[in-house]
Amino acid sequence: MFVRPEQRGTGLARALFDAAIAFAHELDEPKVSRVRLYVHQDNERAEAFYRKIGFTRSGRSIPVPGDESSVEHELVLG
């Protein structure tokens, strides 16, 4: 997800996440039991935001495509 710098801190990102998560949990088929995302190891601001809304690290990571020296951490909600 990307929010333009001038929109950061306005609540827009939180509103987008709240809407997406509500939509996912309202689906009848298949039933969503967990929402997950990946965040770059160096993106501390994004990870802090995700943690603030309830995501936690799962302990899994994947290499960044095209940059095997970097990883993205999996975060889960629910």
What's the CATH code of the domain at 22?
A: 3.40.630.30
Residues of the domain holding 28: 7-77
Assess if residue 56 is contained within a domain.
Answer: yes
Structure confidence at residue 60 as a pLDDT band (50, 70, 90): very high
Is the pLDDT at 58 greater than 90? The verdict is yes
Residue 44 forms part of a structural domain:
yes
Biggest distance spanned by C-alpha atoms of the chain: 40
31: pLDDT strictly greater than 80: no
- Identify whether 30 is part of a domain: yes
Work out the pLDDT band at 70, boundaries 50, 70, 90: very high
Number of domains in the chain: 1
**Going by C-beta distance under 8 Å and a sequence separation of 6 or more, which residues neighbour residue 15?**
none
**Is residue 50 assigned to a domain?**
yes
CA 60 to chain centre: 14
pLDDT at 24: 81
Residue 15 reports pLDDT greater than 90: yes
Query: Which pLDDT score is estimated for 6?
Result: 94
